[in-house]
Structure formats: C-alpha cells, structure tokens
Amino acid sequence: MPTYALLLALLFPAFVHAQDSEGESDLSYKAYVHSGKRIKCLYGYAADKTGDHAAAVAIFEDCIRRWNDVYSMIWLAQLYETGIGVTKDLQQATALMRRGAHTNDDAAYARLARYHYGVALAEGRGTPQDIPQAKTWLRQAAQEGVREATDYLNRLDNAAP
C-alpha cells in the first residue's frame, strides 16, 4: 500500500471498510456527499485529495450551508483560489475567507480564516488592497495564536516606507 494510501487509511478508516457488491463502501467519502452528519465536512478534504473534486465541492458547499462550517469555507476557498475542481475565482475565495473570519468556532478554524483574509486584504487578492484592515485581521489572528499572522505583520511593518 503506497504511503499516501496508508496515511488516508489511518486518518479515514472508512476508506478501507468492506465494499458492497457494486464496489462502493457505505462509509466512503461518496456516501457522505448527501449525508446529514457533520463529520462529512472532514470527508470533503479526503474527496479533494483523492481527486474527486466534484464530491469535495458538494460536501464543502453543503457543510457551509447547513452548519456555517469554517473548515469547509477554508478548503473551498483554496479550491477557488487555485482553480482546482472549480473555475478559478479569487473574489469567491476571498469572500469565503471573509465569511469565515467573521465566524467564531470551537475548532479554531476561524482564526485561520482571519489570517488568510488579512493576507488577501494586504495583497489585494480577490478584493481591493486595504493595508489598515489587513493589519486589523492579522493582529486578531496573531493574538489568537496564529504565528504566521505575526510573521506576516512583521513583514508588512518592515516593508512600510
């Protein structure tokens, strides 16, 4: 078993679950596309990483719609930013990060969204450049423990005229 497949099997044991007569596991990520269980949001990542981008997008969009899931916002934003599985759309990617930045979650994904939204504002990626707002979001992420936000703030401050 290749290393990547072994890692997926360890992280998502459902992938190695016994298959039915049609070759589909009742616990595979595909079974989660239409699931009402919130764990499906994690399976969106697995779907994306195994190349089933359509399933990943469907899972992420449903998780965002049902639960305002910031984890799904971040991963879907990454797909829009890179154009993998969807048409590249920096405005949509930044809008998802903005939405995530305005959300509080128990799993701390909102602080990552704040960092990424701050970077988008600083670079003018998918939104007009706004350094003061970028610094506000980056400071908040830094105060919440996102080390990359502190590093980015330092680079902004050192680049200032």
Q: Does the pLDDT value for residue 133 go beyond 60?
A: yes
What is the distance in angstroms between the CA of the first residue and the CA of the last residue of the chain? 54
Of the chain, the percentage scoring pLDDT greater than 90 comes to 68
Check pLDDT > 90 for residue 103: yes
Mean pLDDT of 115-130: 98
Q: Above pLDDT 70, what percent of the chain?
A: 80
| pLDDT confidence band for 18 (50 / 70 / 90) | very low
Q: According to the 3-state scheme, what is the secondary structure of 66-125?
A: HHCCHHHHHHHHHHHHHCCCCCCCHHHHHHHHHHHHCCCCCCCHHHHHHHHHHHHHHHCC
Q: What is the pTM of this model?
A: 0.79
Residue 104: pLDDT band by 50, 70, 90 thresholds? confident
User: Averaged over 90-106, what is the pLDDT?
Assistant: 95
What confidence category does residue 160 fall into, taking pLDDT thresholds of 50, 70 and 90?
low
Mean pLDDT computed over 14-30: 44
pLDDT-derived band at 105 (thresholds 50, 70, 90) equals: confident
- What rounded mean pLDDT belongs to the chain? 84
Counted residue by residue, the chain has a size of 161
